[in-house]
Amino acid sequence: MNANDATYLLDRYQAALTLYARQFCLAAEDVVQEVFVSLCQQSTMPANPAGWLFRATRNRAISQRRAEQRRQKHEGQSAERREWFEKPQEGFTLDAQSAEQALQQLPEEQREVIIAHLWGGMTFEEIAQALGGSAATHWRRYTNGISSLRQTLESAPPISQKH
């Protein structure tokens, strides 16, 4: 496809395709852009470019809508489960809210290793495979993060005193 053909099709159909895609998804402009990129990557022009553009826009927009729905579902589930820790049982002096805040304050690289190791049950070798880097690097991040958590939580006032 040459540049003149692409420019003509873009000028001619972009607005209509954007309007068409809006009935299916929220990111209509992104969908149309992806369709035009896909068209430009074709070795030959489709026999019916308008038909191809509308069909491709519809298919991508529906896929985009499904992705948006999945994202909303996951975000909704995540919002429902806001607490990272269970409520403390009687007799425990660790405040779950303080522990969550301390964990959130860690650098991302330490936090993700701690979560992967403690909650995910992953070994440092598995973490290295998933995140890149060496197992030793992730072990250092883990121990530094745990040390920081310990310091932060030890300086926090206890929520209850045992009598």
Q: What was the pLDDT predicted at 157?
A: 60
Per-residue pLDDT of the chain (163 residues; tens, 9 = 90+): 788 888 999 999 999 999 999 989 999 999 999 999 999 999 899 999 999 999 999 999 999 999 999 888 877 765 555 555 555 556 555 666 777 888 889 998 998 888 888 877 889 998 898 889 999 999 999 999 999 988 888 776 655 444 4
Pair of tokens at residue 143:
């121990």
CATH domain 96-155 topology: Arc Repressor Mutant, subunit A (1.10.10)
pLDDT the model gives residue 38: 95
Return left, alpha or beta for 20; rule: phi > 0 is left, psi -120 to 50 is alpha, else beta: alpha
Structure-block tokens of residue 130: 């998933």
Cα–Cα distance between 156 and 20 in angstroms, integer? 56
Domain ranges of the chain: 3-80, 96-155
Distance of alpha carbon 71 from alpha carbon 103, whole angstroms: 25
The whole-number pLDDT of residue 156 equals: 63
Q: 122: Cβ–Cβ under 8 A, 6 or more apart, which residues?
A: 116, 130
